[in-house]
Amino acid sequence: MTLTSAPAPAAKEDSAGPRRSVLAGVGGQNLSLVGALIGVLALFGLLNDNYLSLSNMQVIAEAATITGLLALVQTVVIICGGLDISVGSQVGVASVVSAMVFAGSGSNALLGMAAALAVGVLVGLLNGLVIVYGRVNPTIATLAGLAAYKGLAQLLSDGRAQGYVLNNDVFVFLGRGRIAGLPVMVWILIVVALAVHLLLKYTDIGRNIYAVGGNDTAARLAGININKYLVCVYVLVGVVAAIAGILLTARTGSGQPTSGSEGLELKAITAAALGGCALKGGKGGIGGTLLAVALLGALENGLTVEGINTFWQNVAQGALLVVAVVIQQRRNGERAVGLPH
């Protein structure tokens, strides 16, 4: 009896095996995001005939580029067990510096960009040193940076847009150029995403970043220099935030101390959380983050096209962040705060 009944379960396992392999490869979180993205596109496509047009898809992609860049590095920070709430303000400082140096150097675009990147390195290094050697909680340290860098951008610019860069071919190419039909900004996002993905998945550096976020004690015992990794990760954030600031300048035509950069930190954190990053560290990936960025961009554009009050976009982002955290807790089997086991 046992011999004749044994093959039945094996057959079920064989038939279910390929499905399990596909689900494991893609990830349940990513499949949920794909489904949500298709739903948003279908909904607004039915409500507005122009929503799914090629031109509007390019508008969504361009608008999501800066958020996407910040979400990518926010993903790396969260995987490493940290958080950076100051990314939006960093973008504002870099934007102002790029435009002011450009204007003050006789319209030298490369010098303006180099200055912005240098500021990004310094700001990221400062965040990392405060967190590591000042032993300040990353949330508190970067919350202070959010206020400080915003104030610095306003002091440098006197609270006004600075410079005018649309008379320069380099900035015009970055902000409005096309390569193979895609905006240059989108290509930059693709290149950065690919580089970060390769770093995390196929290098010892990436594996060590996951190890630091997953269990810093075990990582330290394994000989990983945790302080060095944390500082370098925050420097990476500063560099990519500077790139985003340069793109903001190119897109708007001038250095923006707050306009265009305010609220980016919430979008970046929301995208990373929706993409599957465990806020405790050690888990996450670039694919899920990019899908979440696309979802947020499609939702924001759809609300705008339908003439819905822009304040509702903030409500939607906050709600999505809560939903993402709740889903994570349920999947990880974590106890809800304040409730018994």
Indicate the pairing of strand 178-179 with strand 182-183: antiparallel
Q: Would residue 155 count as lying in a domain?
A: yes
CA distances 331 to 34, 276, 278, Å, are 18, 11, 11
Higher pLDDT, 279 or 107: 107
Interval 34-47 mean pLDDT: 92
Which distant-in-sequence residues (6+ apart) come within 8 Å of 162 by Cβ?
96, 99, 100, 103, 156, 254, 255, 257
What's the pLDDT band for 123 if we cut at 50, 70, 90? very high
Q: Are 33 and 292 in contact (CB under 8 A)?
A: yes
- The enclosing H or E element of 202 equals helix 184-202
Higher pLDDT, 180 or 17: 180
H helical segments located in 158-183: 169-176
Interval 96-125 mean pLDDT: 96
Q: How many CB atoms lie within 10 A of CB 32?
A: 15
Q: Would residue 30 count as lying in a domain?
A: no
224-269 residue pLDDT tens: 999 999 999 999 999 999 999 999 999 999 999 987 778 899 999 9
What's the pLDDT band for 3 if we cut at 50, 70, 90? very low
Burial (Cβ within 10 Å: 0-12, 13-18, ≥19) of residue 8 = exposed
* 28: three-class secondary structure by DSSP: helix
> DSSP secondary structure string, 308-324?
--THHHHHHHHHHHHHH
When the pLDDT of each residue in the chain is averaged and rounded to a whole number, the result is 88
63-90 residue pLDDT tens: 999 999 999 999 999 999 999 999 999 9
Phi and psi at residue 328, to the nearest 5°: -60, -45
Q: Would residue 154 count as lying in a domain?
A: yes
What's the pLDDT band for 309 if we cut at 50, 70, 90? confident
Domain count, the chain: 1
Burial (Cβ within 10 Å: 0-12, 13-18, ≥19) of residue 72 = buried
Q: Would residue 317 count as lying in a domain?
A: no
Residue 60 has pLDDT above 90, yes or no: yes
- Max avg pLDDT among 18-27, 189-198, 299-308, 320-329: 189-198
Q: What is the pLDDT of residue 95?
A: 96
State both tokens at 145: 């940076």
- Give the domain CATH number at 146: 1.10.3470
Residue 339 has pLDDT above 70, yes or no: no
* Lowest-confidence region among 107-121, 144-158, 181-195, 303-317: 303-317
Q: What is the pLDDT of residue 258?
A: 87
Q: Would residue 336 count as lying in a domain?
A: no
Q: Would residue 95 count as lying in a domain?
A: yes
What's the pLDDT band for 331 if we cut at 50, 70, 90? low
Q: Are 86 and 244 in contact (CB under 8 A)?
A: no
Interval 147-165 mean pLDDT: 93
What's the pLDDT band for 317 if we cut at 50, 70, 90? confident
128-143 residue pLDDT tens: 999 999 999 999 999 9
Token pair 């979400």: residue: 71
Q: What is the pLDDT of residue 263?
A: 85
Residue 20 has pLDDT above 70, yes or no: no
Q: Would residue 324 count as lying in a domain?
A: no
Q: Are 95 and 248 in contact (CB under 8 A)?
A: yes
Residue 15 has pLDDT above 50, yes or no: no
DSSP annotation of 255 reads B
Q: What is the pLDDT of residue 229?
A: 96
State both tokens at 50: 């122009």
* Lowest-confidence region among 1-10, 91-100, 150-159, 298-307: 1-10
193-217: buried (b, 16+ CB within 10 Å) or exposed (e) per residue?
Answer: beebbeebeeeeebebbbbbbbebe
What's the pLDDT band for 333 if we cut at 50, 70, 90? low
Q: What is the pLDDT of residue 318?
A: 82
Q: Which of 280, 316, 232, 238 minimizes the C-alpha distance to 40?
A: 316
Residue 114 sits in which domain range?
A: 35-41+52-303
Q: Would residue 241 count as lying in a domain?
A: yes
DSSP annotation of 135 reads -
Higher pLDDT, 17 or 242: 242
